[in-house]
Structure 1
Amino acid sequence: MESGNNTQISGFLLLGFSERPELQLLIFGLFLTMYLITVCGNLLIILAVTSDSLLHTPMYFFLCNLSFVDICFTSTTIPKMLRNIQTQSKVITYEGCITQIYFLILFAVLDIFLLTVMAYDRFVAICHPLHYTIIMNHRLCGLMILVSWIVCILNSLLQSLTALRLSFCTNLEIPHFFCELNQVVQLASSDTFLNNVVMYFAAILLGGGPFAGILYSYSKIVSCIRGISSAQGKYKAFSTCVSHLSVVSLYYCTVLGVYLSSAATHSSHSSATASVMYTVVTPMLNPFIYSLRNKDIKRALKLFFVKETTKLSQH
């Protein structure tokens, strides 16, 4: 492709993990399996929450939203990668790349916002149990979700619009399995100062801000738990936070691991491999983390399948 501005670009090349043909089938099978587990696992949580009236509480409302976002998050990248392997093509159109960037940023930041809202929910439940139903009413829960979506949509739109102003030359190879904004910016032949400012500002504000909120919520939760006299009461209070803490730790540690490893090794391929953790592995593990130790989810799913089996047997 000849050098020119962004309106003349037909597409980018996603190099993926390996160019060795013998590994393509293995990569295809592995990612297809992880994608199906992610979709099925998160759909089961949504099914459990929506089918059981006892789970129509703020905690499970937020969990249901998190599961939906996780399905969308993985669906932004994996299907395109699988199709490229199947068709033995590495091409993604310019429009497709910008669209992928938009939705990837949208759902990645939404994940962070939802985890922050869930931390606040746990804070109110443990530190203000008598006022929980008054504070965490339907209106506030809906408003927090709505604000999260609006902020994330505006941020994603801003990031995508700044990417649209970039010009590119002949090097259009992205050493990744999806269009990662930072990788695309590095390929640009035009000035990227504005893009870098917007990226870093958004990372500090929308990544660091919610993380500070989560830390504050859990500092208050720890203080409240320490004030509980009985060991059984402490265990019960802490057990309601274990799943959420596990997901927060997994998500933030993997995201930090991606950027620290890529900064240390300066290798785009190592960054692509590390990115699998937060884009694929974390959404896949979330349903297991929230359901394996959760008796309410298990009970709701069991009741649902018993009802469906009974209906089928009657027909």
Structure 2
Amino acid sequence: MNHTTVKEFILLGLTDDHRLQVFLFLFLLMTFSLTITGNLVIITITLVDRRLHTAMYFFIRNFALLEIFFSSTIMPRFLYSLLKGWKAIPFASCLLQNFFFFFLGTCGFFHVAMMSFDRYMAICYPLQYATIMNSRACLLLVLGCWVVSFVMMFPPGVIFAQLPFCGPNVINHFYCDAPPLLQLVCADTRNMELMCIITAVITLLSTLTVTFVSYSHIISTILHMPSSTSRKRAFSTCSAHLMVVAILYGTSIFTYIRPTQRGGQKYDKITSLSYTVVTQVFNPYIYSLRNKQVKEALKDGWNRRFSKMQLS
């Protein structure tokens, strides 16, 4: 019977302990605020400072905008739930949250691969870099990430919206993730589970391959640098990037590439926190704010603002 009688879902969240909920609210509010603030700083400084009008910072600026959208898909609603104890979410809102989570998440993986390729071109082919990674090529790459992600996620999203939900409506998660939602479908979901796994494999493994190959060549090039100081600085940057990549891909592969998509276990919620909260708050710092050029741009911007305040 292809019909839906469920009008809303109940998200159980992470815990029923009131004291732990207070701690979670404060912790998540702080991390969400840091994520939004850090990414807004990156967007602003890369737009204002002409020294940062390069291909690398163009990609980083778009990635920062994407991170704001992705974090805003889940955190505001979950924070409100923790504050008010309101666990219900309308049926349509739940499916929209699910779609945008996977659409923006997929776009994020393509952006990570794209930035890895950009660093590969800059380090391994410095003389040809400016010619190859021109403004038109950068714009096409960014648009390609968005378009390909939407094309990949739209058909599963439409099919998911047509599945019948006619009974239980309790989701053992803190957002509308696909695996626990599939537990509530009143029909055979094997085809949908297979589609989810295939989409996840294509997204995760293809972007991981690009990232892995790019950083392999980068590390090989770094090892041949004559200056030990340059090698140390480059390895410091690469190791930070690879740490984020390892957490992001490791938890995502564990969650979405496995024999069954019927999740909802406690460890699924814990691993979800790592790529919805932990990597989001570290990304602005690791990819941009620890960069020497960005630090100089921020320092100059602050000095100009401070001078204007003194004159006024």
* Per-residue deviation, 1:96: 0.3
Given the superposition, is the C-alpha separation of residues 262 and 14 from structure 1 closer, same or farther in structure 2, using an over 3 Å criterion? farther
Provide the residue aligned with 1:93 in structure 2.
Answer: 90
Note closer, same or farther for the CA distance 1:239–1:55 as it changes in structure 2 (3 Å cut). Answer: farther
TM-score under structure 1 length normalisation: 0.90
State the secondary structure of the residue aligned to 2:89. strand
Contact 2:32 2:277 in 1 (8 A): yes
3-state SS of paired residue (2:173):
coil
Residue 214 (structure 1) aligns with: 211
Unaligned runs of 5+ in 2: none
CA deviations 1:134-161 (Å, max 9, x no partner) are 0111111100000100011122212211
Map of 2:124 onto structure 1: 127
1:87–1:236 Cα change, 3 Å? closer
Partner AA of 2:79 in structure 1 = L
Q: 1:167 aligns with which of 143, 164, 167?
A: 164
Q: Name stretches of at least 5 consecutive residues in structure 1 with no aligned partner.
A: none
Contact 2:8 2:91 in 1 (8 A): yes
Superposition map of 1:224-239 within 5 A = 224-235=221-232, 237-239=234-236
Q: Could you tell me whether the CA contact under 8 Å between 2:166 and 2:185 is conserved in 1?
A: yes
What SS does the aligned partner of 2:163 have?
Answer: coil
8 A contact 2:200–2:256 mirrored in 1: no
Match of 1:12 in 2: 9
State which of 41, 44, 48 in structure 1 corresponds to 2:45: 48
From 47, 56, 60, give the equivalent of 2:57. 60
For 1:277, the aligned partner's letter is S
Structure 2 partner of 1:273: 270
Match of 1:143 among 119, 140, 143: 140
SS in 1 for 2:168: coil
Q: 1:257, CA displacement in angstroms?
A: 4.9
Tell me the amino acid that sits aligned with residue 307 of structure 1: R
Compared with structure 1, are the counterparts of its residues 140 and 168 closer, same or farther at alpha carbon in structure 2 (3 Å cutoff)?
same
Paired AA for residue 284 in structure 1? V
Q: Deviation per CA, 1:25-60: give whole Å up to 9, x if none.
A: 222212111111111111112122112111111111
What is the CA–CA distance in structure 2 between the aligned matches of 1:215 and 1:277, rounded to whole Å? 21
CA RMSD of aligned residues (A): 2.4
Pick the aligned partner of 1:294 from 268, 279, 291: 291
What SS class does the counterpart of residue 205 from structure 1 fall into?
Answer: helix
CA distance in 2, matches of 1:108, 1:144: 17
1:155 is aligned to 152
Give the drift of 1:221. Answer: 2.3
Q: Supply the distance in 1 between the matched residues of 2:152 and 2:257 (Cα, whole angstroms).
A: 23
1:31 aligns to 2:28 (yes or no): yes
**8 Å contact 1:74–1:283 — kept in the other structure?**
yes
User: 1:154-185, CA deviations, whole angstroms, 9 ceiling, x for partnerless residues?
Assistant: 22212211211211232111111100012111
Q: Structure 2 CA distance, aligned partners of 1:32 and 1:261?
A: 32
Aligned residue identity for 1:5: H
Once the 2 structures are TM-superposed, how far is the Cα of residue 129 of structure 1 from its aligned partner? 1.0
Q: Is the 8 A contact 2:180 2:264 kept in 1?
A: no
The one-letter code matched in structure 1 to 2:131 is: I
The CA distance in 1 between the partners of 2:292 and 2:234, in whole Å, is 16
The answer for the alignment partner of 2:197 in structure 1 is 200
Against the structure 1 CA distance between its residues 51 and 262, is the aligned structure 2 distance closer, same or farther, given a 3 Å change threshold?
A: farther
Match of 2:251 in 1: 254
C-alpha separation in 2, matches of 1:246 and 1:47:
26
Q: Report which stretch shifted further, 230-239 or 210-219.
A: 230-239
CA distance in 2, matches of 1:298, 1:237: 17
Question: In 1, Cα distance between the equivalents of 2:294 and 2:82?
Answer: 36
2:183 match: secondary structure = helix
CA contact (8 A) 1:42 1:67 kept: yes
Query: Relative to 1, partners in 2 of residues 1:165 and 1:135: Cα closer, same or farther, differing over 3 Å?
Result: same
| Residue 116 in structure 1 maps to residue 113 in structure 2 | yes
Offset of residue 245 of structure 1: 2.5
TM-score by length of 2: 0.91
Identity fraction in percent: 34
Give the structure 2 partner of residue 77 of structure 1.
74
Paired residue total: 310
Rounded to whole Å, the distance in 1 between the matches of 2:182 and 2:133 is: 41
CA distance in 2, matches of 1:292, 1:141: 21
CA contact (8 A) 1:166 1:191 kept: no
